[in-house]
Structure 1
Amino acid sequence: MLNDNRQQYVIQSNDPKGDEGFGKFFGVVILFVFFLGCVQVALETVTSWYRDTVVWLNDTATYLAGFWPF
């Protein structure tokens, strides 16, 4: 076989701008996921506060209605 003695070369191209662009893109993706997590926590907090406030107002109204003379 004639091809057994051929030399194989590994060509490596250094692309610092491409690597920098990929790093920035990956950083933006990580920050976006972190932002979505913060939005989710804030939404769950506000929703639970709203539900607790409605329950408290309902209980307060029921308690005060117990004093109604009719």
Structure 2
Amino acid sequence: MFNRQDYDCSDPKGDEGFGKVFAIVICFVFFLGALQVVYETVSGWYQNVMQWGSDMLAFLAGFWPF
């Protein structure tokens, strides 16, 4: 019979590799989240500038004499 204390089934290099892959996945997810925030911010600014420009042109067109 085997004595459970006779051999060690842990794999420190495998655990280290899993940790590195897990850390890379977490960093990638954070990167995608940051990219989404930047995209939504720039998109919001663009839409607000276009709305402001449209309102400004409508206001200035109100002074057109025709």
Based on CA coordinates, which of the two structures has the bigger radius of gyration? 1
Residue 14 of structure 1: CA displacement? 2.3
Could you tell me which of 33, 47, 52 is aligned with 2:48?
52
RMSD across aligned positions (CA): 1.5
TM-score relative to the length of structure 1 = 0.82
Are residue 42 (structure 1) and residue 35 (structure 2) matched? no
TM-score relative to the length of structure 2 = 0.87
Moved more, 55-64 or 7-16: 7-16
Q: Matched residue pairs, number? A: 64
1:19 is aligned with what amino acid? D
Per the alignment, residue 24 of structure 2 pairs with 28
Residue 8 of structure 1: CA displacement? 6.5
Residue 69 of structure 1: CA displacement? 0.7
Q: Which consecutive aligned stretches of 4+ in structure 1 deviate over 6 angstroms post-superposition?
A: none
Any stretches of 5+ residues in structure 1 without a counterpart?
A: 1-6
Distance in 1 (CA, whole Å) between partners of 2:3 and 2:39 is 56
